[in-house]
Amino acid sequence: MGREGIIAKDSPGERVLLLGNEAVARGAIEAGVQVAASYAGTPASEILATIASVADRFGIHAEWSTNEMVAFETAAGAAIAGLRAMASMKHVGVNWCMDPLMAVNQSGVIGGLVVITADDPGAYSSQNEQDNRRYSKMTELLMLEPSDAAEAKETVIKAFAISERLELPVLVRLVNRICHSRADITLGPFKWGRRKGEFKRDRRWVMIASSSPERHRWLHQQQGEIQNIAEQSALNRLEGKGSELGVIAAGITYTYVKDALRCLGLTEKVSVLKIGTYPLPRNVVLQLLDRVNTILVFEEVEPVVEEQVKEIAFDGGKTCTIKGKLTGDVQRERDLNVDAVADSIAHVMRVKYRALTPAKEAAVEESLKITPPRRLLMCPGCPHTPTFFVINQAGRKAAKGKIIYSGDIGCYSLGFYTFEPPRQDTQFCMGASIGVGCGLAHSGVEDIVVATIGDSTFIHAGIPPLINAVYNNASMVVVIFDNETTAMTGFQHHPGTGVTATGNETRKLNIEDIVKACGVEYVKVIDPYNIKESIKTVTEAMRYPYISVIISRRLCMLEWLRKARKEGIKIEPYQVDPEKCTGCKLCINEFGCSAITFNKKGNVAVIDNVLCNGCGVCIQVCPVKAIHKGSAQVGC
Amino acid sequence: MVAKKVKEFNVLIAGVGGQGNLLSSEIIATAAVIEGYRVRVADVFGAAQRGGSVLSHIRIGEEVFSSIIRQGSADVLLGFEPVECLRASRLLSTSCTAIANMRPIYPRDVSIGELVYPSISEIAALLQKMVKKLIYRDFIEIAEKAGSSRTLNVVMVGSLAGLELLPIRKETFQEGVAESVPSGTEEMNIKAFELGYEEIKRAIR
């Protein structure tokens, strides 16, 4: 049975293995979600992908929106019309939503509206590790936080019910280790009733000038009920009777604390308060404060709970010591784990604890010393590799190599790791390549500003800054790395692919039409597999005195491989003739295809025939024509 | 039905993106769920689609909460690639049984001649120091016998079953394999499972 079959299984009580994100999707489906919208972003992507895979069976409208703000607005619109709706996104996506969210929190909704924020503590796949629990204060909305994948499904179901009761959006915070962990999960029944959208005209839907204070007061009146929900929520739980230490564990850290206490043998000596709501349950926190003199708070990223507990202690006249990130007893940055939590507890309780014996520690150190790292690479045959090569070569011709790569979010950001010097000089957020590029262009720097941005990212966030560049005459070269998919997050469709999240054909957005409509006069499409022609075009673009846009278009190699496999196309790897190769390393250092290796002894390049995907672009790159289609003749 | 008395059993899979580690962890975890266990799994990898280090943590048992294996507590290591076994060494318990494929996949910096890859004997000696039992082979050769080097992941699942350290029946693993592998490859993969299973049975006899 495929994943869809498991997700759609109507067998309440059955236990199945689900990914955290699948559990969230299943929870939404069980709760009767009718509109689900998202923009792809790790670690959130599988939530919408999962819903979309079964959307037709359940009568759900599931979409990849152009960006997170539009996803939220789409969900909000449906909720205003009385439907249950959900918007899911990675943590930084919520930054985009703040504009509408800070109005919808006051207008409220009719149907349940759930916003999922998938945070990335440790920033494994993101530009930052911001803590979106801060947004619960900012929006004055209830936020729920499950501790593991199994609890995540139930949390989403509860969130819908609470949202409808309060007529307010409810936020659910996940972290990467929940999104991407699997757990045995008990399936529940589906809520089958489908509602028909109905728009009831109401002044609260018009958040016009001076209407806010009245709605703001309404939001404040809801706070008492939000606090009651927090006090009674099963997501908050005081466990144990120990009085030596009170541990407060928010979200996923509860699982770390449970494992750590067992491994330290301290379960009996410690009381644990599991936290799963923001605001915190004041009365439950006070119960714990009454019991112990010292509190140790675990949470991922910011000291949100720690600060609130201090506030509660102050209001309640409690004098216990509160330790956590602010006191240096818990690591401040990065995601936590059982080892980090065990170390902190052992330190605070003055217990001796070593995870490894000194002998084992020494062997581990010795092992790690001889273990070579594996750096991030672009895939063999990736069209971004020749696009970077072309930009670099053109930069030499047009600007003596003086170019600034104003980068963006996507696979092409790997240009940072692949080359020396890196082919990614700045990276901030979606669309910033062009926006920051505008400022660099106006700053008077001598270098040519080259903004590098992917197709999906361009549609998400690149259009307003491009119009800005034209309007305010920022001279730069924008290169759109169009690989016809959202590759980095798992090959999601977007308006430029002409296919929807549910696999239906739709009108295909033409990127060059958009670029022209923004007012750009110099727009050229190149095929990055045609090196000579592409260098000529990009050189010309760099010499153009105004803004120019190059669309470098070639299907993502991994997508092409899938197609090739289906169509039975044979992949023929290329080889290097060791007699002809001079060992100049241009193919490695300048071109940088990850299938090309180097034989030090023979001082020649060698193509790894397992890795090579047969794009053949290296033939055009090699200055001595040493590369040819593979056969049995060569061996090093 | 087998006894459900496992408190905590940790299987760690260390490999490189593209080796099919994630499918192995899914098969093992699904088998554990079918047998009625509480299971937590974390697949930990960077942003790389292919070629990056991938660690799958599979935790089975009534007292398991976090999906991440803590230092020094992996009961079994399934090593898909030699240096990846070393990279994971901090997590291995001193009573760990390590099954390691000794066919290397060279990191980029090694293949372009910038860094050195340690010798297999050096890797084996270090692993031997850190675990209770080490079984290392060229498991790719075994996978090729099943029909394709790509079945390495299922060979390794078979080897875990062959250890019989986990109270999960062989048939349950086989069921998991048949359900999880791409359609059309079931026969080859069941053979791969069997070859891995037999190899380990022979090794521990």
Residue B50, pLDDT score? 62
Q: Are residues A135 and A13 in the same domain?
A: yes
CB contact under 8 A, B68 and A337: yes
Residue A635, pLDDT score? 35
Q: What is the CA radius of gyration of chain B?
A: 16
CB contact under 8 A, A256 and B66: yes
CA atoms of B194 and B162, how far apart (whole Å): 9
CB contact under 8 A, A258 and B52: no
Residues of B in contact with A340 (CB under 8 A): none
CB contact under 8 A, B67 and A183: yes
Nearest to B63 among A262, A339, A372 (CB): A262
In B136-165, the residues whose Cβ lies within 8 Å of chain A are none
Q: Are residues A101 and A223 in the same domain?
A: yes
Residue A371 forms contact with B (CB below 8 Å): yes
CA atoms of A481 and A553, how far apart (whole Å): 7
Looking at this protein, which amino acid is placed at residue A600? K
Distances (CA, A) of A635 to A225, A599, A604: 74, 11, 11
- Residue A370: inside a domain: no
Residue B49, pLDDT score? 55
CB contact under 8 A, B42 and A177: yes
Q: What is the CA radius of gyration of chain A?
A: 27
- Residue A269: inside a domain: yes
CA-nearest residue of chain B to A583? B112
Nearest to A184 among B33, B89, B109 (CB): B33
Residues of B in contact with A373 (CB under 8 A): 107, 109
CB contact under 8 A, A184 and B37: yes
CA-nearest residue of chain B to A341? B70
- Residue A514: inside a domain: yes
In Å, how far from its chain's centre is CA A437? Answer: 23
Q: How many domains does chain B have?
A: 1
CA-nearest residue of chain A to B31? A17
Average of per-residue pLDDT across B71-82: 98
Residue A356 forms contact with B (CB below 8 Å): yes
B36 CA to chain A: closest CA distance, Å?
A: 8
B91 CA to chain A: closest CA distance, Å?
A: 9
| Structural domain boundaries, residue B94 | 9-204
Domain containing residue A582: CATH number:
3.30.70.20
Residue B179, pLDDT score? 85
Residues of chain B with pLDDT > 70: what percent? 96
Residue A206 forms contact with B (CB below 8 Å): no
How does pLDDT run across B84-122, given as a tens digit for each residue?
A: 999 999 999 999 999 999 999 999 999 999 999 999 999
- Residue A356: inside a domain: no
Q: Which of B21, B65, B80, B94 to mutate to test the interface with A (most CBs of A within 10 A)?
A: B65
CA-nearest residue of chain B to A42? B47
In A56-95, the residues whose Cβ lies within 8 Å of chain B are none
How does pLDDT run across B140-160, given as a tens digit for each residue?
A: 999 999 999 999 999 999 999
Residue A633, pLDDT score? 37
Residues of chain B with pLDDT > 90: what percent? 87
Tokens representing residue A181 in the block: 């962990």
Q: Are residues A486 and A584 in the same domain?
A: no
Q: Are residues A340 and A388 in the same domain?
A: no
Residue A363 forms contact with B (CB below 8 Å): yes
CA atoms of A348 and A334, how far apart (whole Å): 20
CA atoms of A491 and A483, how far apart (whole Å): 10
- Residue B4: inside a domain: no
Contact present, A355 and B72 (Cβ < 8 Å): yes
In A217-256, the residues whose Cβ lies within 8 Å of chain B are 252, 254-256
CA atoms of A408 and A496, how far apart (whole Å): 18
CA atoms of B89 and A265, how far apart (whole Å): 24
Residue A47, pLDDT score? 98
Residue scoring higher pLDDT (A418 or B29):
B29
Q: Are residues A123 and A215 in the same domain?
A: yes
Q: Are residues A340 and A391 in the same domain?
A: no
Residues of A in contact with B179 (CB under 8 A): 1
B111 CA to chain A: closest CA distance, Å?
A: 5
CA-nearest residue of chain B to A601? B113
- Residue A289: inside a domain: yes
- Residue A361: inside a domain: no
- Residue B146: inside a domain: yes
> H helices within A83-206, ranges in order?
91-107, 134-139, 149-166, 176-179
Chain A, chain B: beta-carbon pairs less than 8 Å apart: 160
Residue B21 forms contact with A (CB below 8 Å): no
Residue B62 forms contact with A (CB below 8 Å): no
Residue B23 forms contact with A (CB below 8 Å): no
CB contact under 8 A, B68 and A373: no
Residue A42 forms contact with B (CB below 8 Å): yes
Could you say which residues of chain A have pLDDT below 50? Answer: 632-636
In A490-549, the residues whose Cβ lies within 8 Å of chain B are none
CB contact under 8 A, B107 and A181: no
> H helices within chain B, ranges in order?
21-34, 82-87, 108-111, 120-130, 139-146, 152-163, 170-180, 186-204
CB contact under 8 A, A367 and B89: yes
- Residue B178: inside a domain: yes
CA-nearest residue of chain B to A3? B180
Element holding A465 (H helix, E strand): helix A463-471
How does pLDDT run across A395-446, given as a tens digit for each residue?
A: 999 999 999 999 999 999 999 988 889 999 999 999 999 999 999 999 999 9
Which value, to the nearest 10 degrees, does the dihedral of the CA atoms of residues B42, B48, B52, B58 take?
10
- Residue B28: inside a domain: yes
- Residue B143: inside a domain: yes
Q: Are residues A155 and A82 in the same domain?
A: yes
- Residue B34: inside a domain: yes
CA-nearest residue of chain A to B67? A181
Q: Are residues A306 and A228 in the same domain?
A: no
Nearest to A364 among B36, B46, B90 (CB): B90
CA atoms of A11 and A584, how far apart (whole Å): 63
CA atoms of A238 and B175, how far apart (whole Å): 41
Residues of B in contact with A483 (CB under 8 A): none
Q: Are residues A540 and A587 in the same domain?
A: no
DSSP string across B134-169: EEEE-HHHHHHHHT-GGGHHHHHHHHHHHHT-S---
- Hey, how many other C-beta atoms are within 10 angstroms of the C-beta on B73? 21
Q: Are residues A221 and A258 in the same domain?
A: no
Residues of B in contact with A412 (CB under 8 A): none
Q: Which one, of B161, B154, B159, lies nearest residue B192 by Cα?
A: B154
Nearest to B109 among A15, A368, A375 (CB): A375
Residue A365 forms contact with B (CB below 8 Å): no
Q: How many domains does chain A have?
A: 4
Residue A636 forms contact with B (CB below 8 Å): no
ipTM of the complex: 0.95
Point out which residues pair with B43 in neighbouring strands. B56
- Residue B176: inside a domain: yes
Q: Are residues A418 and A540 in the same domain?
A: yes
CA-nearest residue of chain B to A336? B68
Q: Are residues A530 and A450 in the same domain?
A: yes
- Residue B133: inside a domain: yes
- Residue A376: inside a domain: no
| Structural domain boundaries, residue A584 | 570-629
Domain containing residue B167: CATH number:
3.40.920.10
pLDDT at B2 over 90: no
Q: Which one, of A455, A448, A457, A444, lies nearest residue A392 by Cα?
A: A448
Contact present, A391 and A423 (Cβ < 8 Å): yes
CB contact under 8 A, A124 and B46: yes
Residue B66 forms contact with A (CB below 8 Å): yes
CA-nearest residue of chain A to B56? A181
Task: Say which DSSP state A423 is in.
Answer: S
Segments of A20-160 assigned E as strands:
35-38, 61-64, 85-90, 113-119, 143-144
